[in-house]
Structure 1
Amino acid sequence: MADSLNPSIPMLKDELDIVIPTIRNLDFLEKWRPFFEPYHLIIVQDGDPSITIKVPKGFDYELYNRNDIIKILGPKASCISFKDSACRCFGYLVSKKKYIFTIDDDCFVAKDPSGKEINALEQHIKNLLSPSTPFFFNTLYDPYQDGADFVQGYPFSLREGVPTAVSHGLWLNIPDYDAPTQLVKPLGRNKRYVDSVLTIPMGTLFPMCGMNLAFNRELIGPAMYFGLMGDGQPIGRYDDIWAGWCTKVICDHLGLGVKTGLPYIWHSKASDPFVNLEKEYNGIHWQEELIPFFQSATLPKDCTSVKKCYIELSKQVKAKLGKVDPYFLKLADAMVTWIEAWDELNPSVAEIPNGTVKGK
């Protein structure tokens, strides 16, 4: 039996939802039972809504399929992707918890080098509850982790850190490769376990992966839109990457932190690289213009909340990326629809200037 949550770290069982996108029965949850059973699950079923998804007994969950999404959002359901794992962000909309952990259904409990099972939730919670240091890099990585500290020369004025909005976990076994890398490295496996967490520096983008990800919904939730992907769209498999670019620009603007590193999960299934290439083709081409766009994106001082930042970013996407392809005009409109849906499903939450929230 796996170890329970370290008693020195809050479980947050009443403050955290686990969001899982899926097209299949969730037998994988049996491997996670010791860690996930105390938490509420939000399952977003992708694909054919007439298929019945089976969930192992003993879990507290709610399950939504495409029909449910349309019933709840009406015309605004157009902003939720179909036949793509981007559908998971619907779970972020309907959650009422402060924290979200999202994981794919082909991910399992990993083991550290000593052979001990890794409690991924515990580490994500630890990351989210400790500050980040985006304004000055600490060479001992996360100074708030056990056994680390600030090194000589680190400014004392910055040692208090800033709130952590995102905890980005990693993977053993099958890496998060794009299709071309999958094709040239079909046997590529990540066997390296690095016992560290670091804050991604201000002004630095990163390729966010949604299959082992946690975030503070109250701090950054409205920016966690996974875009328009999959069925009917000219692109797929860039949903989490898009959300990561938008989120990082907004975190930098609002003075929030993003951590990456621990915890690891075991990614067990490599998808078909030829199918992936078809989905990713436009993204691989477009990212050479998208990345410079996000690297140079600036938000005005009056954008003092995540929602204001996101609406402003949608305007810039329409004005600048609309020239790259008409798809981005559609995506910019969907970004606005997403915020409207967020407001509709979360009417009792009002943002305040530092990006945190409070009830009315």
Structure 2
Amino acid sequence: MPVSLKCTIVVPTIREHSIKEFLAVWKKALISAHLIVIEDNPTPTFDLRAYPQVTHYSWNDIDRDLGANNWIIPRRTDCIRSYGFWKAYQDHPDMVITLDDDCHPVDDGTHFIETHWEALTHSGTSEAWQQTGEGIPTRGIPYFQRHREWPCMLNHGLWDHVPDFDAPTQLVQSRVPQTFIPVNQTIPVGRYFPMCGMNVAFRPELIPAMYFLLMGKGYQYDRFGDIWSGVLVKKICDHLGYAIKSGDPIVVHQRASNVWANLRKEAPGLEVNEEFWSAVDRLCLTGRTVIECYQEIAESLTLEGQYWSALREAMLLWSGLFTKAEIHENLASPPRIKGNSLPASQSALV
């Protein structure tokens, strides 16, 4: 980890044994980082004071900080980590990483933070030209400059051991096992990707859009908070001219969740998942900042029903936590990108 790098790591948990094992196995790799642990309980039920780099929050802190708007942080779901993102924003870090409490490092994780940072500080590259046939390129295809290079705003790390499958795939895997093979890539412009919240690094400029949606207790949908958040983030990054990468660094995902519980949680959202990305994709954004784009999506999303009305309100309340005065004080300089300068027109991200 570079000496001058300021990194904040957000981990949601409800299991004392899992978070203490997590802190033990990551001790060497995360020693210079600030860890924000969000316990998904009304008050803390275990003691983390032995870990000086850890700040431990629970529902009480959410209720105190957000008051009447505390409902925008859902409970009994990993999406409670959104509160941790807001607290991380107040840290003024160079990079935020979120991990699940059952994700362990490969070996001792020495280069974990450094690998995420390297991804964020180098441009994402993807194909910008498509041939109209196979074989020899036809007239007009550039000889050398055929790629698009954009500053990277989010790096989606992947996993070994237990892949991030949905319940139907878990069931199929029990009969017809197949192998998940991680790939290092820049997600192409105009395409979406299944963003899993268990290993993600991003620049603090993106936090106003890194809201994991209303899920779990009190809501009809669950286990899509990170996926749908990823759709919104990708839409915004494509519009503003920022890349999203996926691949390294890998973590070891230790725990396979109960397939039948997952199936019950996921079932209501499986059909809506077919519609959600299309509804977002149809939107034509005009905003010039992350907050403007996020609010534009919240106000324009056409899905109907009580859940979507509540979600639109929650998204607007979430983005309202980041006032322009605070943001410009926090982000006095644009992201530091190696090998590709940030265009002046894109220096005001939020």
Q: Which residue, 290, 293, 301 being the options, matches 1:309?
A: 293
Cα-to-partner distance string for 1:172-199 (whole Å, 9 max, x where unaligned): 11110111111222388886665x5211
Do residues 32 (structure 1) and 32 (structure 2) align?
A: no
How many residues are aligned here?
322
2-side partners of 1:59 and 1:192: how far apart? 37
2-side partners of 1:128 and 1:328: how far apart? 33
Contact 1:209 1:241 in 2 (8 A): yes
1-side partners of 2:219 and 2:143: how far apart? 47
Contact 1:173 1:189 in 2 (8 A): no
1-side partners of 2:127 and 2:190: how far apart? 9
Contact 2:129 2:146 in 1 (8 A): no
The AA in structure 1 aligned to 2:120 is: L
2-side partners of 1:190 and 1:34: how far apart? 33
Task: For structure 1, list consecutive stretches of 5 or more residues without a partner in the other structure.
Answer: 139-151
Q: Which residue, 195, 199, 215 being the options, matches 2:186?
A: 199
Q: Which residue, 97, 110, 114 being the options, matches 1:122?
A: 114
Contact 2:7 2:97 in 1 (8 A): yes
1-side partners of 2:181 and 2:295: how far apart? 39
After superposition, the Cα gap between the structure-2 partners of 1:44 and 1:53, relative to the gap in structure 1 and judged at 3 Å, is same
User: 1:164 Cα deviation (Å)?
Assistant: 0.5
Contact 1:123 1:262 in 2 (8 A): yes
Contact 1:84 1:230 in 2 (8 A): yes
2-side partners of 1:252 and 1:333: how far apart? 24
Contact 1:179 1:274 in 2 (8 A): yes
User: 1:154 Cα deviation (Å)?
Assistant: 6.8
Task: For structure 2, list consecutive stretches of 5 or more residues without a partner in the other structure.
Answer: 131-140, 335-344
Q: Which residue, 103, 109, 118 being the options, matches 2:105?
A: 109
Contact 1:175 1:190 in 2 (8 A): no
Do residues 336 (structure 1) and 332 (structure 2) align?
A: no
2-side partners of 1:92 and 1:279: how far apart? 24
Secondary structure, aligned partner of 1:263: strand
Contact 1:76 1:341 in 2 (8 A): no
Secondary structure, aligned partner of 1:203: coil
User: 1:288 Cα deviation (Å)?
Assistant: 1.4
Matches within 5 A, 1:1-360: 5=1, 10-13=2-5, 15-25=6-16, 26=19, 27-54=21-48, 57-95=50-88, 96=91, 97-110=93-106, 119-134=111-126, 136=128, 155-156=144-145, 161-186=149-174, 194=182, 197-218=184-205, 220-300=206-286, 303-317=287-301, 320-322=302-304, 325-343=305-323, 346=326, 348-349=329-330, 354=346, 356=348
After superposition, the Cα gap between the structure-2 partners of 1:192 and 1:244, relative to the gap in structure 1 and judged at 3 Å, is closer
Contact 1:199 1:259 in 2 (8 A): yes
Cα-to-partner distance string for 1:197-217 (whole Å, 9 max, x where unaligned): 211010001110000100011
The AA in structure 1 aligned to 2:316 is: V
Return the TM-score normalized by structure 2: 0.84
Secondary structure, aligned partner of 2:120: helix
Cα-to-partner distance string for 1:103-132 (whole Å, 9 max, x where unaligned): 000011125xxxx86732221111011111
The Cα RMSD (Å) is: 2.7
2-side partners of 1:192 and 1:279: how far apart? 23
1-side partners of 2:169 and 2:186: how far apart? 26
User: 1:357 Cα deviation (Å)?
Assistant: 5.3
2-side partners of 1:124 and 1:154: how far apart? 32
Contact 1:23 1:47 in 2 (8 A): yes
User: 1:89 Cα deviation (Å)?
Assistant: 1.2
User: 1:291 Cα deviation (Å)?
Assistant: 2.2
Secondary structure, aligned partner of 2:125: coil
After superposition, the Cα gap between the structure-2 partners of 1:327 and 1:58, relative to the gap in structure 1 and judged at 3 Å, is closer
Contact 2:8 2:96 in 1 (8 A): yes
Equivalent residue for 1:142?
A: none
The share of aligned pairs that are identical, in percent, is 33
The AA in structure 2 aligned to 1:342 is: F
Return the TM-score normalized by structure 1: 0.81
